[in-house]
């Protein structure tokens, strides 16, 4: 329901310096008036200014003293009347403030409901609403850059630009529907095909950013693998900057996979330390090794660690499917003990002496930029939902193009074009949104 008034704690729960509660909806001021008190009525206070107020529960017991902000519709985040309170960030105080707002007539907000209202009230399109959560989840500078680009409307603008390209094509084709005796002239046909080709090219370019989008949103899956005892966990710890995994001279130390997110040159990596690969009788170790094999199959990047102080002939290398070869970086660890001269290629490293990490970071960046088709200067990165829409657009425009070239009745061409326009509308959320809204906003934080 859009017409009720909702409230939530917008900051993380826990002891903190300040906490923020938000109320939005037509009764926001009415609700707030029952909880927040100052010399004047809230309605008479100037909007968008901080006012020092006292918060009281229904019995008149003082809960907190804090700052109140009023935003009047439509000039607010949600486009509705919004009241915000910045209080002392205690767990109990904050909970009691929310309870009082609920007792005063507000309903507890669902996850993402503030942003959902901003979308429904036309404050942002669906790609911008999605970007709000991308921004909060961003774990690397490139991911943050892409989120800002999307929040600024870059993807929505591109979708609308494609719509502007297709609309005149549709209008042209539809004009012929009314004059069945007239054929589309070859010249006109060629110019319509050229316009469709342009749309196909731009849509394909967007689809190509989805791989970069996946890596920026979820991190490049990076598997550290190799024989037992070569220093895989030492490498994880080194890249993380703290002692996360247990390191010991005993082979078979790591049995379960350990995952951590790190950032390398602005790219998020989901780093997985695995059990050393060797044939083993030990049941637990065997399960760990099977898990490693599974991780290898879906890895974006494979960091294979060997003991570089030993000859290559002494190393049991990890066998990879051919297509995974290009994703592997060979790390010659324990270089402090003297690199064996027979190794060719690979990045010399010493986890204990902390030598070679920068070279490794550069190699990681180069490889991920490659396999993920990443472009540091082109931070647009569509998500999985956009990708499905744009792929549909490509096949619908392609169908229209074929129909036009084959001299099909203009009705058929128009049908495909209308479908493509519909899919473009889905990207920004102007059509067919009901079913997807719940999916999108349920992954949001409460109070966002």
Ligand X SMILES: Nc1nc2c(c(=O)[nH]1)N(C=O)[C@@H](CNc1ccc(C(=O)N[C@@H](CCC(=O)O)C(=O)O)cc1)CN2
Ligand Y SMILES: Nc1nc2c(ncn2[C@@H]2O[C@H](COP(=O)(O)OP(=O)(O)OP(=O)(O)O)[C@@H](O)[C@H]2O)c(=O)[nH]1
Binding site for (6S)-5-formyl-5,6,7,8-tetrahydrofolate: which residues?
22, 84, 123, 448
When CB distances to Mg ion are compared, the closest residue is 254
Choose, by CB under 6 A, the member of 254, 292, 383, 396 that binds ligand Y: 254
Nearest distance in Å: CB 31, ligand X = 17
Residue pointed to by tokens 């009082």: 100
**Contact status: 338 vs ligand Y (CB under 6 A):** no
Q: Residue positions in the annotated binding site for Mg(2+)?
A: 233, 254
Select from 268, 347, 358, 264 the least CA-distant residue to 305.
347
Nearest distance in Å: CB 282, ligand Y = 12
User: Running DSSP on this structure, what letter comes out for residue 180?
Assistant: T
- Count residues binding ligand X (CB under 6 A): 8
**Contact status: 292 vs ligand Y (CB under 6 A):** no
Q: How big is the chain by its Cα radius of gyration, in Å?
A: 29
Binding-site partner at residue 210 among ligand X, ligand Y, Mg ion, none, CB < 5 to 8 Å by type:
none
User: For the chain, how far is it from start to end, CA to CA, in angstroms?
Assistant: 17
Nearest distance in Å: CB 156, ligand X = 16
Nearest distance in Å: CB 356, Mg ion = 19
Q: Residue positions in the annotated binding site?
A: 22, 84, 123, 229-234, 248-254, 273-276, 333-336, 448
**Contact status: 253 vs Mg ion (CB under 5 A):** yes
Residues 206, 394: Cα–Cα separation, whole Å: 11
- Three-state DSSP state, 19: strand
- Put the strands of the sheet holding 18-24 in their side by side order: 36-37, 51-56, 62-71, 82-88, 18-24, 6-9, 107-108
Of residues 46-85, those binding ligand X (CB under 6 A): 71, 74-77, 84
Residues 147, 217: Cα–Cα separation, whole Å: 9
Query: Which of 278, 378 has the CB closer to Mg ion?
Result: 278
Residues 340, 311: Cα–Cα separation, whole Å: 6
> Positive or negative, the Cα torsion across 296, 301, 303, 304?
positive
Query: Which of 95, 280 has the CB closer to Mg ion?
Result: 280
Q: Residue positions in the annotated binding site for GTP?
A: 229-234, 248-254, 273-276, 333-336
Choose, by CB under 5 A, the member of 254, 333, 383, 396 that binds Mg ion: 254
Nearest distance in Å: CB 221, ligand Y = 19
**Contact status: 253 vs ligand Y (CB under 6 A):** yes
State the DSSP string of 212-256: HHHHHHH-EEEEEEESTTSSHHHHHHHHHTS--S---SSTT---S
- Count residues binding Mg ion (CB under 5 A): 4
Pair 156, 125: CB distance under 8 Å: yes
**Contact status: 128 vs ligand X (CB under 6 A):** no
Q: Distance of CA 339 to CAs 2, 312, 331, 401, 448, Å?
A: 67, 11, 11, 60, 53
Of residues 228-247, those binding Mg ion (CB under 5 A): 232-233
Which residues sit at the interface with ligand Y, rule CB under 6 A?
228-234, 247-249, 251-254, 276, 333-334, 336-337, 350-352
Which residues sit at the interface with ligand X, rule CB under 6 A?
20, 71, 74-77, 84, 123
């Amino acid at each position: 329901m859009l017409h009720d008034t909702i409230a939530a704690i917008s900051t993380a729960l826990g002891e903190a310096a300040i906490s923020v509660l938000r109320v939005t909806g037509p009764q926001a001021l009415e609700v707030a008036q029952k909880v927040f008190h100052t010399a004047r009525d809230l309605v008479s206070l100037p909007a968008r200014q901080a006012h020092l107020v006292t918060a009281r529960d229904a019995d008149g017991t003082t809960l907190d003293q804090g700052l109140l902000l009023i935003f009047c519709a439509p000039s607010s985040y949600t486009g509705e009347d919004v009241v915000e309170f910045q209080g002392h960030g205690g767990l109990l105080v904050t909970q009691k403030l929310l309870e009082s707002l609920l007792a005063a007539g507000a309903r507890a907000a669902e996850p993402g409901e503030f942003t959902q209202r901003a979308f429904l009230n036309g404050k942002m399109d669906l790609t911008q609403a999605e970007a709000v959560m991308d921004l909060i989840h961003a774990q690397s500078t490139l991911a943050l850059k892409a989120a800002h680009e999307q929040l600024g409307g870059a993807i929505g603008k591109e979708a609308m630009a494609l719509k502007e390209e297709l609309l005149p094509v549709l209008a042209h084709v539809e004009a012929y529907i009314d004059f069945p005796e007239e054929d589309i002239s070859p010249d006109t046909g060629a110019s319509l095909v050229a316009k469709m080709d342009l749309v196909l090219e731009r849509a394909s370019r967007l689809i190509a950013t989805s791989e970069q989008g996946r890596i920026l949103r979820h991190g490049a899956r990076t598997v550290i693998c190799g024989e037992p005892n070569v220093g895989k966990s030492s490498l994880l710890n080194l890249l993380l900057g703290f002692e996360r995994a247990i390191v010991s001279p005993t082979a078979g130390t790591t049995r379960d996979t350990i995952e951590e997110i790190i950032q390398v040159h602005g790219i998020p990596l989901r780093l997985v330390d695995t059990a050393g690969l060797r044939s083993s009788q030990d049941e637990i170790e065997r399960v760990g090794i099977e898990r490693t094999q599974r991780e290898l199959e879906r890895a974006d990047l494979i960091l294979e660690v060997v003991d570089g102080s030993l000859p290559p002939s002494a190393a049991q290398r990890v066998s990879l499917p051919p297509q995974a070869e290009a994703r592997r970086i060979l790390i010659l660890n324990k270089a402090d003990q003297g690199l064996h001269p027979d190794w060719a290629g690979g990045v010399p490293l010493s986890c204990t002496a902390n030598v070679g990490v920068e070279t490794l970071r550069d190699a990681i960046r180069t490889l991920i930029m490659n396999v993920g088709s990443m472009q540091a200067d082109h931070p647009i990165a569509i998500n999985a939902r956009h990708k499905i829409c744009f792929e549909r657009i490509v096949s619908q425009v392609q169908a229209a193009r074929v129909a036009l070239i084959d001299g099909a009745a203009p009705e058929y061409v128009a049908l495909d074009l209308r479908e493509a326009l519909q899919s473009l509308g889905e990207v920004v959320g102007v059509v067919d949104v009901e079913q997807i809204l719940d999916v999108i906003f349920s992954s949001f934080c409460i109070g966002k």
